[in-house]
Amino acid sequence: MSLRHGLLGLLNYGPMTGYELSKVFRQSLDFFWQGQTSQIYRELNVMEGSGYLASEYVMQTDKPNKRVYSITNEGRDEFIKWLSSPGADIDEAMKVRSAFLMRVFFAGELNERQSIAMLKAFSEKCAEAIKGLDVANEAIENYGEAVGDIEKAKYWGLVKMFGEIFYAAELEWAKKAIAFLEGE
């Protein structure tokens, strides 16, 4: 359902084709929700069937023909209704889902040298991710200017802050874990 509401949120800014949505999605929501292009097309179809979207088929000569989607009043209602009832998503946010932690859990089957190497690789990726946030930040600000509402930028800032705190925490954990294993 999050893909659906993400698409409603973007179409709320203006009509777009599946292809454009797929790009905008990647430039904005991708930090916290990843959607494949093919999945977006399927979802748009379903959403039109449910009355949340309307579409118009536009002929083109130089490029392939395209289908432009726009949000209906029903879609806007659904979007606002969704935004107003965050309970289930908060619960879900409390769940961890990480194949990497499964590896840590089973790391006793490896030798300690390998486990430490794994944790070091992890901590390096954390450091990279932290650097990457600056880039993401620019992207999000460009997007903000495009949409042209400075009030909303506050919330984008909160998302970015989440990223900073999140990666810093992962890095902190990795360092402590390495120190623990090495300090025996």
**By the rule CB under 7 A, 64 interacts with DNA:** yes
Q: Which is nearer to DNA, 139 or 181 (CB)?
A: 139
**By the rule CB under 7 A, 98 interacts with DNA:** no
**By the rule CB under 7 A, 67 interacts with DNA:** yes
- What is the Cα–Cα distance from 15 to 37, expressed in whole angstroms? 17
**By the rule CB under 7 A, 65 interacts with DNA:** yes
**By the rule CB under 7 A, 10 interacts with DNA:** no
**By the rule CB under 7 A, 60 interacts with DNA:** yes
Going from the C-alpha of 76 to that of each of 13, 52, 70, 97, the distances in angstroms are 11, 8, 10, 31
Q: Which of 38, 65, 105, 146 binds a second copy (CB under 8 A)?
A: 105
Residue 126: contacted member of DNA, a second copy, none (CB under 5 to 8 Å, by partner type): a second copy
Count of residues for the chain? Answer: 184
Q: Which of 23, 42, 81, 152 binds a second copy (CB under 8 A)?
A: 152
Strand ranges inside 40-129, DSSP E: 53-58, 66-71
Residue 60: contacted member of DNA, a second copy, none (CB under 5 to 8 Å, by partner type): DNA
Taking CB under 8 A as the rule, which mask of x and - marks residues 51-90 in contact with a second copy? ----------------------------xx--xx-xx-xx
Q: Which of 17, 28, 72, 115 binds DNA (CB under 7 A)?
A: 17
**Cα angle: 43, vertex 145, 161; to 5 degrees:** 80
Q: Is the torsion defined by CA of 107, 113, 116, 118 positive or negative? A: negative
Residue type at 81 in one-letter notation: K
- What is the Cα–Cα distance from 156 to 140, expressed in whole angstroms? 7
